[in-house]
Amino acid sequence: MRVLGIETSCDETGIAIYDTEQGLLAHQLYSQVKLHADYGGVVPELASRDHVRKTLPLIQAALKQANLAPQDIDGVAYTAGPGLVGALLVGACIGRSLALGWQVPAVAVHHMEGHLLAPMLEDNPPDFPFIALLVSGGHTQLVRVDGIGHYQLLGESVDDAAGEAFDKTAKLMGLDYPGGPRLAALAEQGRPDCYKFPRPMTDRPGLDFSFSGLKTFAANTIAAEADDEQTRADIARAFQDAVVDTLVIKCRRALKETGLKRLVVAGGVSANKELRAQLHAFAEKIGGEVFFPRPEFCTDNGAMIAFAGAQRLLAGEQVDERVKTFPRWPLEQLRAPASGHA
């Protein structure tokens, strides 16, 4: 089965074609970073308009890359949520319309399920069950995964997501949008242990996260002491170390409580070099395994949507002719495909 995947949940237009026998055939991505940079963050209306301009040309480019014609596509998968409602509607309307015109089934994909399954696109995919750390600008969650659609939420952020805290702290430091990767780059120049930031909610039981207080601690430190470039780098290093340590502590706790030794890490923050290094070291120490998507599949992309959609289409799942999007869509509301395919 060849599936066209469409991702338009925020500020990237991602298109891909996935073949259930041959794997990924095409991958096209357009980032709106330059469009939103002057505003210091994503402007929803501008994002929606840009998706309108870019989605169809990228679909044409993906078909050309895969050397396929529309009649070679067996199904269409599009992100239906969570995300920006206008951006979601662009991808959903185009995806549903193409499916109707091509007379193939369509399926609505949960954005975070796409991230969760992104490591399945690699040569060494994880086996079920595993613990997933979903860590991005909008979500920080620990999920037990026993199969596709079999998700148990173990913990999540009660305020800012980790990626959101990265972006907000970067903005306080005067770094350009997108701030998270720029803060991580600055942290590479920082000296360890110059500043000691708190590791929030690690001194109590549970698997929930909180990064709002850490952001405030960083803001106060920046206001008081960030008067030269080296000090700014040291503060960035301390902030990143605190976030990474917190994520590692909670992952260790989740694996211990469940007795599992496989960890999947996905979402934009999973591209962070320090987080990857720390989790690889931890997994090796306990005799476990940790799985990451390749860097280009950490951020929003069409490949993960095409893959996730293909699994549900194979099981016979599809949507009717109505176009529905879900700006808020808890992952735990998803159900396993009816046939039990995984």
pLDDT tens profile 157-167: 999 999 999 99
DSSP class per residue in 70-92: GGG--EEEEEEESS-HHHHHHHH
Q: Within this chain, do residues 9 and 142 fall inside the same structural domain, yes or no?
A: no
Q: Within this chain, do residues 177 and 226 fall inside the same structural domain, yes or no?
A: yes
Whether 339 is in a domain gets the answer no
Contacts of 223 (CB under 8 A, 6+ apart): none
Q: What's the CATH number where 219 sits?
A: 3.30.420.40
What does the block give as tokens for 17? 């074609």
- Indicate whether 340 pLDDT > 50: no
Q: Within this chain, do residues 93 and 152 fall inside the same structural domain, yes or no?
A: no
Quick: pLDDT tens for 99-154.
999 999 999 999 999 999 999 999 999 999 999 999 998 899 999 999 999 999 99
Q: Within this chain, do residues 199 and 285 fall inside the same structural domain, yes or no?
A: yes
The tally of domains found in the chain comes to 2
Integer Cα distance of 3 and 278 in angstroms: 36
Average pLDDT, the chain: 95
Please tell me the predicted confidence (pLDDT) of residue 339: 59
Q: Within this chain, do residues 63 and 163 fall inside the same structural domain, yes or no?
A: no
Q: Within this chain, do residues 187 and 56 fall inside the same structural domain, yes or no?
A: no
Please tell me the predicted confidence (pLDDT) of residue 329: 95
Residue ranges making up the domain that contains 302 = 2-117+297-333
Q: Within this chain, do residues 271 and 312 fall inside the same structural domain, yes or no?
A: no
Contact 266, 132 (CB under 8 A): yes
Closest CA to 276 of 290, 262, 256: 290
Residue 289: is it exposed, middle or buried by C-beta count within 10 angstroms (0-12/13-18/19+)?
middle
Quick: pLDDT tens for 230-270.
999 999 999 999 999 999 999 999 999 999 999 999 999 99
Backbone angles phi, psi at 31, to 5 degrees: -100, 140
Q: Within this chain, do residues 25 and 11 fall inside the same structural domain, yes or no?
A: yes
- Report the binding-site residues for substrate: 134-138, 167, 180, 272
Residue 220: is it exposed, middle or buried by C-beta count within 10 angstroms (0-12/13-18/19+)?
exposed
Please tell me the predicted confidence (pLDDT) of residue 65: 98
Q: Within this chain, do residues 68 and 138 fall inside the same structural domain, yes or no?
A: no
Integer Cα distance of 208 and 51 in angstroms: 34
Q: Within this chain, do residues 75 and 164 fall inside the same structural domain, yes or no?
A: no
CA dihedral 294, 295, 299, 300 (to 10 degrees): -50
Please tell me the predicted confidence (pLDDT) of residue 177: 87
Percent of the chain residues past pLDDT 70, beyond the cut: 99
- Report the binding-site residues: 111, 115, 134-138, 167, 180, 272, 300
Integer Cα distance of 171 and 179 in angstroms: 6
Percent of the chain residues past pLDDT 90, beyond the cut: 94
Q: Within this chain, do residues 92 and 199 fall inside the same structural domain, yes or no?
A: no
CB atoms within 10 A of CB 245: 17
- Report the binding-site residues for Fe cation: 111, 115, 300
Q: Within this chain, do residues 150 and 287 fall inside the same structural domain, yes or no?
A: yes
Residue 337 pLDDT level (bands cut at 50, 70, 90): confident
